[in-house]
Amino acid sequence: AGFTLSDMTMAVGVIGSGKVGTELLRQLNQFQKIGQREMKLPAMAEVKRLHIEVRGICDVKSMLLADKGLPLEAVVGEDNEDACQTKSGGEVCDISAWEESAKAKGTQLEEVLDNLCDQQNKFEVGKTDFKRFVDFMDTRRIPH
């Protein structure tokens, strides 16, 4: 009940900016548009107050980062058929610089990784993969 009674922001990081990643970003962009969530379908009532924020897109060579969420309409325009704009608008993917930024903000990576498990402790996160998105998964943000 609490999920549907208050606004909720979900931070998302996308690894891969090819066809699949770009299509996911397009669908998230469509979901964020006001008209898409004004439907009177019963299933839509549960997600009406959900705001999905893409804070990072990363591929092998480049990344786009934004603390307040990336403007998806600029990243995946309708005319862009195959890939999002990490190559033209992104910076060089520097994981160590990103980790230093997380440390400066007081984020303890080990603590975050220790808390990432399902109830059966079967959920596994590779530390090298997760480090790329530490800054963007902080759930203590003010909801929209």
Question: Over the stretch 101-140, which tens digit does the pLDDT of each residue have?
Answer: 667 766 655 554 554 443 444 444 445 455 555 545 544 4
Query: Count of domains in the chain?
Result: 1
Q: Which domain holds residue 35?
A: 2-136
Cα–Cα distance, 92 to 132 (Å, whole number): 13
* pLDDT tens for each residue of 130-142: 555 554 554 444 4
CA distance 100 to 91: 16
Residue 54 is assigned to a structural domain of this protein: yes
Q: At 56, phi and psi to the nearest 5? A: -155, 140
Assess if residue 104 is contained within a domain. Answer: yes
Q: Which residues pair with 52 in a beta bridge?
A: 10
Question: Would residue 31 count as lying in a domain?
Answer: yes
- The answer to whether residue 143 sits within a structural domain is no
Give the pLDDT confidence score for residue 98 in this predicted structure.
60
Model pTM above 0.85: no
Write out pLDDT tens, residues 4-23: 567 778 888 888 878 888 88
SS3 143: coil
Strands of the chain (E only): list them.
8-15, 50-58, 62-65, 91-92
